[in-house]
Amino acid sequence: MKCDVVVDLQFGSTAKGKLCQYLAMNRKYDFSIRVQSIQAGHTVIRDGIEYKMQTIPCAWVNPNVMLILGPGCFIEKNQLLKEIGWIEQAGISVRDRLILDYRATYITEEDKAEERANRLTESMGSTSEGAGASLIRKLWRKGGVVQVKDDMWAVKNRLMEADTLEIIQKADVLLEGCQGTLLGVHTTPYYPYCTSRECSVSAILGEAGIAPFDVRSVYGVFRTFPIRVGGNSGKTGARELSWEDVAAYSGDPTLVPERTTVTNRQRRIFEFSVRDMLQAMMINKPDILVCNFINYLNHDDTDVTTWSKLSTKSKRWISQKEQILKQNFQMLGTGKNPDSWIIR
């Protein structure tokens, strides 16, 4: 097996979906795997239409890639069917290449109700989608967890169920990580303002059942101005900004505040933190760094695709950060367009 891993080096929303889309269309993979859960939304744009995926790997845009929801997946049935419908409406087959690992777990309405009852959205900015409650039930090992192997729902909806650990052993694999390293429940510097699991490369590999020795490349994705979800979601290692600050810095009078993919809450935005990045790089050891939202440095750089045409302002920011972090940024995302990349 050869596995490329996409991991978020900040707090999520670093345009991992856009990167996975690019890799799926420009590299040759047999399988794309997603683990973890519904509280993370990854956006891809195909034929001008945005698709906000919370369950199915973004590599669905390439009809030649098989898609896996791995052992560590927590699946919300209605969301999964909704995403299948989106893909089929786009004219791409998906049921014949989507495989659910038999150990994957379903999120129930009881899980969602429990998180809402505990008011996690108000206390720490949780999405309250039931992912944490479902994980806790699974860890208690007292029953009550509905796994794919115990349920006929997948069969009724013409979905494949298998032991995915076996079928990927000689494959070329893209592993799509969720959320962000600095949200990991054990390693975050900002506990308890975190998620319910670890989000590092090693954690993602463990939930997919892939050995570290099978990793070929680690794509570490980050953004020029990191975000956290709206509400009482905690701090970062740098100063919080307003969206008006970022608009003025970039020279973009039309810049509007971002909203979260899952809950549609306005995101909070911060200055870049070298300290945070160094910790995330230490945990993940990425060999390919991917910096997105370059256009937030200078609006004139939106959709630029060559280094020579990038503004001096953006080049200076990138070079300064590369010197401090002691690693070059091999890929630069300059806009929402799937082709808005500078490959160095």
Helix 109-117 and helix 131-140, axial crossing angle in degrees, nearest 10: 110
Measured between its terminal Cα atoms, the distance across the chain in Å is: 27
User: What is the pairing mode between strands 2-8 and 215-223?
Assistant: parallel
pLDDT in tens, 86-107: 999 999 999 999 999 999 999 9
State the total domains in the chain: 1
pLDDT of residue 181: 98
DSSP string spanning 20-45? HHHHHHHS--SEEEEEEETT--EEEE
pLDDT of residue 126: 61
pTM comes to 0.94
Kind plus residue range of the DSSP H or E element containing 215: strand 215-223
Boundaries of domain holding 75: 2-343
4 alpha carbon, distance to own chain's centre: 14
Q: Encoding tokens for residue 254?
A: 């039309």
pLDDT in tens, 115-170: 788 766 666 656 677 888 888 888 888 777 899 999 999 999 999 999 999 999 99
Q: How far is 128 from 212, CA to CA, in rounded Å?
A: 32
Q: Give the residues of the chain that fall short of pLDDT 50.
A: none
pLDDT of residue 140: 87
Specify the CATH number for the domain of residue 329. Answer: 3.40.440.10
